[in-house]
Amino acid sequence: MASKRQIWVGGVPIGGGAPVAVQTMTKTETADYEATMRQIRAAADAGADLIRCAVPREKDVDALRRIVKESPIPVIADIHFNHTLALKALDAGAHCVRLNPGNIGGPAKVAEVAEKANKLGTPLRIGVNSGSLPKHLHALEADNPVEALVQAAVEFVELMERLDFENFKVSIKSTSVPNTIASNRLLASKIDYPLHLGITEAGTKWSGSLKSAVGLGTLLADGVGDTIRISLSTFQAEEEVKVAWEILKALKLRERGPVLIACPTCGRLQFDMDTVVAEIERRLERYEQPIEVAVLGCAVNGIGEASHADFGITGAKNEGLIFAHGKPLRKVPQAQLVDELFAEIDKSLQIGRVEVDQSKAAEGANWLQKIEDENADEMTPERLAALGAEHARKEAEEATVIRLDEEVSPTAGRRFTRA
C-alpha cells in the first residue's frame, strides 16, 4: 500500500518509508518577498517540512529565486497553465515544481519541463484535481468520479514514464472526502510512487480540520500517503501545519511537541476548565519535548485514565492536585494550578526527572483519596467506561472458553442448542 519509491525534495525524503512530510502553502503574493519569507518562517517554526508558493507571474519567479536561497525549508513552486513559468521556476532553483499535466498545454510541454527537471535532478509533483480532468474522461467522471480521477493520474504517470522521468510524486485532489479516500486507496494499489494527500478547499479552520482529519487520517491509518497539506481558509499558513501535526500525532506517525489530553467535562466539573485548558494549550506551544499533559475536571475518579500522562492536574472547588506519571505530587490552591503545573514541568525538564517531596505527595494523595471515597458511588463517565471495558473483557474471555471447548470436543458447543 505505502509507496515503495522515494524522492527527495531538497533535503526531505518523501515516500519509501520516510516519515510523512508536512507541507503548507504560503498565502501571500510570492512576489512580495518580505511577506512571503515571514510566512515561510512562521510555517517552518510550526513544523512545516516543505513550503509551496504559487507562481502565477514572472515577478513571482523573480522573488522565488531569492526565496529558495533564504528559505529554511525546501520550496515547491506551484504552477498552473504556463509551462514557461515551470521552466523558469526550475531555473530559479525551486526544490520541486507542482504542475497538472492536464492543464499545462499538452504532452510536448510536459516533456520540456520533464527534460529540464531531469537535467537539474529536481522532482515534480504531478497533480490531478476533480473539476479539471482531461476531456476524454468527462463521461467517466459523471458516471464514476473515483475511477476517472485514478484513470487520469495513471495516464499522467504513464506519460512521465514514457518521458523517462520517474522523479515525481502524485496527488489526487477532490473536495469530496469519500472520493479522496477511495481514489487514493485505488491509486496506491496501482502505482508505487509517493503520494501527496490533501482535501481541496476543505473549508474553515473548524470544518476543514475535521474533513482533513477524517479523509487524510483514514488514508494515513491505512499506510497511504507520504506528504500532507491541510487546506484551510485562513491567511495563517502555520495554522494548517498545526492541524497536520495533530493528525500525525494522533495516529502516532510522528512526534512533535507536547500532547494535551483533557477530560470531556460533565456535571461534576468544579472549575472553569475551558479557560484552563486553553491556557495550558497556549503555554505548551513553546515546548518541543513530546510530553503528555492531562487535565481532569474533577478529582472524583482519582488520576484514573490520565495515569500514563507525564504531568497533569485535577481540579476541585478551591484546590487541585498536580500529578506526574500517575502519582500525586502536591495539592495547590485552584488559582495557582496552571502556574504550578508549568513550574513542575520546567523544573522536571531541567533536571531530567520528577522531584517528589514525600510529605507534600502524601498530603496530596490523602486529599485525593478523601474525594474518591466521598464519591465512591458516583457513576462518572470514566467509571461507566471502566465497567463497560470490564464487561467486554469478560465476554471475550467467555467466548474464548467456548471456542476452546468446541475445538477440544466438536459436540461440546451443541449444549447451547440442546438447552
Q: Which of 55, 296, 321, 324 binds ligand SF4 (CB under 6 A)?
A: 296
Q: Least CB distance from residue 393 to ligand SF4, whole Å?
A: 21
Stretch that binds ligand SF4, among 159-167, 262-270, 321-329, 358-366 (CB under 6 A): 262-270
Query: What is the Cα 260 distance to its own chain's centre?
Result: 15
The one-letter amino acid at 186: L
For ligand SF4, the closer of residues 165 and 271 by Cβ is 271
368: contact with ligand SF4 by CB under 6 A: no
Q: Which of 159, 261, 269, 291 binds ligand SF4 (CB under 6 A)?
A: 269
264: contact with ligand SF4 by CB under 6 A: yes
Distance in angstroms (rounded) separating the CA atoms of residues 230 and 243: 7
Q: Is 377 exposed, middle or buried (CB count within 10 Å of its CB: 0-12, 13-18, 19+)? A: exposed
List of long-range contacts for 137-141, beta carbons under 8 Å, 24+ apart? none
Q: Which of 123, 127, 225, 297 binds ligand SF4 (CB under 6 A)?
A: 297
Site for ligand SF4 in 300-339 (CB under 6 A): 300-301
Q: Which of 144, 356, 380, 386 binds ligand SF4 (CB under 6 A)?
A: 380
**Hunting for cell 507562481 — which residue is that?**
55
381: contact with ligand SF4 by CB under 6 A: yes
Instruction: Say how many residues touch ligand SF4, by CB under 6 A.
Output: 14
Distance in angstroms (rounded) separating the CA atoms of residues 257 and 27: 25
Nearest 5 degrees, angle CA 138-CA 96-CA 173? 30
Q: Which of 120, 139, 221, 266 binds ligand SF4 (CB under 6 A)?
A: 266
Q: Least CB distance from residue 330 to ligand SF4, whole Å?
A: 19
Site for ligand SF4 in 187-226 (CB under 6 A): none
Beta bridge partners of 228: 22, 197
Q: Which residues form the interface with ligand SF4 (CB under 6 A)?
A: 263-266, 268-269, 296-298, 300-301, 380-382
